[in-house]
Structure 1
Amino acid sequence: MTRPQVKLTRPALIVIDVQRGFDDAGFWGPRNNPGCEANIEALLVRWRERGWPVVLVHHDSDNPASPLAAGQPGHEYKDGIDGPADLVVGKCVNSSFYGEPDLHAWLQREGLSEVVICGITTNHCCETTARMAGNLGYDTYFALDATHTFDRTAPDGTVVPAEELARITATNLDGEFATVVSTAELLKA
């Protein structure tokens, strides 16, 4: 079955937690999708060329040992991610909708009904934000290849590879909370 072409009007690009602290493989473990950051950068370039809204989100960990703790070098955005943004949201939970300033209120004030989600990590903050966006009624697009995640240990002690977690996230979201798309599809839209 061929999927219909992605058609966008004026979507907000929500770039979630693309922070230097996620480069700490000793803390997080093995990751998938080494092309994630390049895909996010390509989306940012296209959005800024079109004058579409960009939202940058950062995680403010309240754990001082976390690479994402405010005031630590890992809290900063990765190279190529910073730059002009229409809104910058700080959060200390998984959903970008529970941060400051209020993302939902801002999207409503701006009259935006479409969102594109990318960032780190696929199955945590990105998936949670996509689920909430879908439940709040936004036309939600999830740029799977512009996200990445890390291997995780399951409750039974087995390791679930990052690639499998990403595939499961895509399966959970697509058609229910969001439309899962590629960076290439979004760049053509």
Structure 2
Amino acid sequence: MPADKTPVLLPIDMQKAFDGPPWPRRWNSALDGNGLALLDAWRRRGLPIIHVRHDSVAPGSTLRPGMPGHAFRDGFAPREGEPLVAKSVNAAFIGTELDLMLRRLRATSVVAFGLSTDMCVSTTVRVGANLGYRMILVADACDCFDLPDGRGGSIPAETVQAVHLATLGFEFAAVATTAAVLAGLADRAPGTPG
């Protein structure tokens, strides 16, 4: 768990589109419960949260504004005073004010989770690390999909997850569980930033 006084929680693309076609099978049934536990812990302690939403510009995308899937998953919409970053590419730092927002908070640690591990979560974590932030990836609050292997077969989502966690943990982030992150917050008094 980050030692600085303002570890920022970054929920990435927690949107309804990922629950159905054309998206393939997902594997992590604990995604929503773990993500909501993180949000609750941050809110009780008055720690900063910056929500990320994908606003697709691709015609027909289930993540395009106005489509039902564009909406946040139940319980994941920003509350009053919680900022939102809207992106149209994989990395939440590209074409947004996320870096500026983090610098204004004097944040050095970013705790990220969301959908999907190998796409927007991975890209955001990589760019964040390149910008100098200490990135913490909450593995069991992420999820990903079965992917085509390019040879007519499929790579199971569990394998996709394992490989991307290994890559990110080796070079770009500290990989943690929800329980470990929550335990790291346990000594913080609710309602205080540090």
Decide: shared fold, TM above 0.5: yes
Aligned to 1:11: 7
Aligned to 1:21: 17
Q: Percent same amino acid at aligned positions?
A: 38
1:47 partner amino acid: W
Per-residue displacement from partner, 1:111-138 (whole Å, max 9, x unpaired)? 1110001000010000111111111111
Shift of 1:66: 1.4
Per-residue displacement from partner, 1:163-185 (whole Å, max 9, x unpaired)? 10000111001141000000000
Aligned to 1:136: 131
Aligned to 1:106: 101
CA RMSD between the two structures: 1.2
Aligned to 1:153: 148
TM-score by length of 2: 0.90
Aligned to 2:189: none
Aligned to 2:168: 173
Cα distance in 2, alignment partners of residues 93 and 32 from structure 1: 24
TM-score by length of 1: 0.92
Structure 1 runs (4+) deviating above 6 angstroms are none
Contact 1:89 1:99 in 2 (8 A): no
Cα distance in 2, alignment partners of residues 14 and 99 from structure 1: 17
Shift of 1:8: 3.5
Matched position secondary structure for 2:126: helix
Shift of 1:7: 4.4
Q: Which of 76, 86, 90 is matched with 1:90 structurally? A: 86
Shift of 1:158: 2.1
Cα distance in 2, alignment partners of residues 146 and 57 from structure 1: 15
Cα distance in 2, alignment partners of residues 83 and 89 from structure 1: 11
Unaligned runs of 5+ in 2: 185-194
Cα distance in 1, alignment partners of residues 150 and 108 from structure 2: 38
Q: Which of 62, 83, 86 is matched with 1:67 structurally? A: 62
